[in-house]
Amino acid sequence: MSASPARREDTRVGATPEAIQAHYDAGDAFFALFLDPTRTYSAALFANGADDLEAAQLAKIDWHLERAGVRAGKRLLDIGCGWGGLIERAVTTHGAAEAVGLTLSAAQARHVSASRNARLSARLEDWADHTPAAPYDAITSVGAFEHFAAAGLAREVRVAAYGRFFAKCADMLAPGGRLSLQTIAYPTGFDRAAYDATDYGVFVREHIFPESDLPTLPEILEAADDAFEPVIIRNDRRCYARTARIWRGRLRAREAEAVALVGERRVRDLDRYFRTSAGAFDIGTLQLLRLAFQKKLAFQKKRTRACP
């Protein structure tokens, strides 16, 4: 890896801004070729065998906004806001008073800032550095958790990094505030070392998600436990398989334009990633977790209680 976690402060063990930008700054035009109009680059929510990516991405956004309790007058923080599809829908459809997005990608921040809705804003900022003007009522984070731990860390280091994320979220939330999270995960018992040694493992680490590793569900729950109570847990891995196949079909249909924008290598890499990850989601080698949490009240944090 080009940038080791040690290069950063002790508390930062996730992917560096450089790694994030390498993945997401390929250009708005390139992603627009195969993503839906909201440019959501994470699994959609397909219900009842529906096959419409646009509708399924909105359904996914709505799921998170509803689970996070976003409604009229509420303030939302979206960590890893991408091209701003979720925060925009929070203010236009769900009535949020304010929606702030954080991203490490300059291209994404510029894109969101170009929208002229005063209730929307995007900041080029790490979640660890964010200082809210006032506590938020809701936090969402969709497809960012994948980058919160660098590859090659021991389990306890990973869990500690995730724990700092949850502690920070709790700090930024008003009492009773909710957090809705979506992330790709490995199944429990997944052999990371064996996977990392495969051609595909090396390929993903070098060309798709540099400096990133995936959590397992127990790691997430363990890391969240101090500050949050889980309310809903879903594994929608079939939704990601479907999403990846649709992206791949769209990318192939626009292949010549894609190659002109980012080069043949990048297009071939992404094609391979979509094909293989779809299959890995088919068989459960990858999971797609959607998790809703509620911030614990002080008495709920006590380890032992007279009355459970």
Which residues sit at the interface with another protein, rule CB under 8 A?
A: 195, 198, 200-201, 245, 249, 275-276, 278-280, 282-283, 285
Q: Which is nearer to another protein, 9 or 199 (CB)?
A: 199
User: Residue 28: which residues within 8 A CB-CB, separation 6 or more?
Assistant: 39, 83, 107, 111
Query: Closest distance between another protein and the C-beta of residue 300, in Å?
Result: 40
Runs of H (alpha helix) within 35-105: 53-67, 85-92
| Exposed e or buried b per residue across 17-46, where buried means at least 16 C-beta atoms within 10 angstroms of its C-beta | bebbbbbbebeeebbebbbbebbbbbbbbb
Query: Closest distance between another protein and the C-beta of residue 164, in Å?
Result: 31
Query: Closest distance between another protein and the C-beta of residue 104, in Å?
Result: 29
Query: Closest distance between another protein and the C-beta of residue 249, in Å?
Result: 7
Q: Which is nearer to another protein, 135 or 249 (CB)?
A: 249
Q: Which is nearer to another protein, 190 or 221 (CB)?
A: 190
Query: Closest distance between another protein and the C-beta of residue 262, in Å?
Result: 21
- Rounded alpha-carbon distances, angstroms, from residue 270 to 133, 187, 216, 252: 39, 23, 24, 10
Query: Closest distance between another protein and the C-beta of residue 197, in Å?
Result: 10
Asked if 68 and 233 touch (Cβ cutoff 8 Å), the reply is no
Q: How big is the chain by its Cα radius of gyration, in Å?
A: 19
Token pair, residue 57, equals: 């991405």
Q: Which is nearer to another protein, 74 or 245 (CB)?
A: 245
Q: Which region, left, alpha or beta, applies to residue 69 given φ > 0 means left and ψ of -120 to 50 means alpha? A: left
Q: Which is nearer to another protein, 9 or 191 (CB)?
A: 191
Q: Which is nearer to another protein, 113 or 235 (CB)?
A: 235
